[in-house]
Amino acid sequence: MVTPRREVFIAGANADIGTALVRYFAADGWRVTGTYRQAAPDVDAVPAAAEPLFLAADFAVAGAGAGVAGRYGASGRRWDVLVSAVGTMLPVGPFMETPFGEWERAVRVNMLSQLELVHGLYPHRRPDGVAHVVLLAGGGTNGPFRNYSAYCLAKIGLIKACELLDDECPDLNVFIVGPGWVRTKIHGETLASGPRAGDNLERTHHLIVLVLDDVTMPHERPEKINPRLDARDLTRIGDDGVLEPDFPRHRGFRNSSNRCGEGRHAVQIQRQSQTVHDLE
Average pLDDT over residues 93-122: 96
pLDDT at res. 241 = 36
Instruction: Tell me which residue of 10, 108, 135 sits closest to 68, measured CA to CA.
Output: 10
Which helix (H) or strand (E) segment is 235 a member of?
strand 235-237
pLDDT at res. 3 = 59
| pLDDT for 41 beyond 50 | yes
pLDDT at res. 65 = 95
- In 85-230, beta strands by DSSP E: 131-136, 172-177
pLDDT at res. 125 = 95
In sequence order, which residues have a C-beta less than 8 Å from that of residue 235 and are 6 or more positions away? Answer: 179, 224, 243, 244, 245, 246
Q: Which residue has the higher pLDDT, 55 or 45?
A: 55
pLDDT at res. 217 = 45
Average pLDDT over residues 186-205: 84
Q: What is the pTM of this model?
A: 0.74
Which helix (H) or strand (E) segment is 65 a member of?
helix 64-74
Residue % of the chain over a pLDDT of 90: 43
pLDDT at res. 55 = 94
For residues 67 and 111, is the Cβ–Cβ distance under 8 A? Answer: no
Burial category of 261 from C-beta neighbours within 10 Å (exposed 0-12, middle 13-18, buried 19 and up): middle
Q: Which residue has the higher pLDDT, 54 or 229?
A: 54
Which helix (H) or strand (E) segment is 191 a member of?
helix 186-193
Least confident range from 106-115, 167-176, 208-217: namely 208-217
pLDDT tens profile 82-94:
999 999 889 999 9
pLDDT at res. 15 = 82
Mean pLDDT of the chain: 75
pLDDT at res. 79 = 96
pLDDT at res. 212 = 57
pLDDT at res. 271 = 30
For residues 167 and 70, is the Cβ–Cβ distance under 8 A? Answer: no
Using left for φ > 0, alpha for ψ between -120 and 50, and beta otherwise, residue 217 falls in left
pLDDT at res. 277 = 32
| pLDDT for 278 beyond 50 | no
Q: What are the b/e assignments for 136-164, b being 16+ CB within 10 Å?
A: bbbbbbeeebebbbbbbbbbbbbbebbbe
pLDDT at res. 43 = 63
| pLDDT for 122 beyond 70 | yes
Query: Residue 73, Cβ neighbours under 10 Å: how many?
Result: 14
Residue % of the chain over a pLDDT of 70: 70
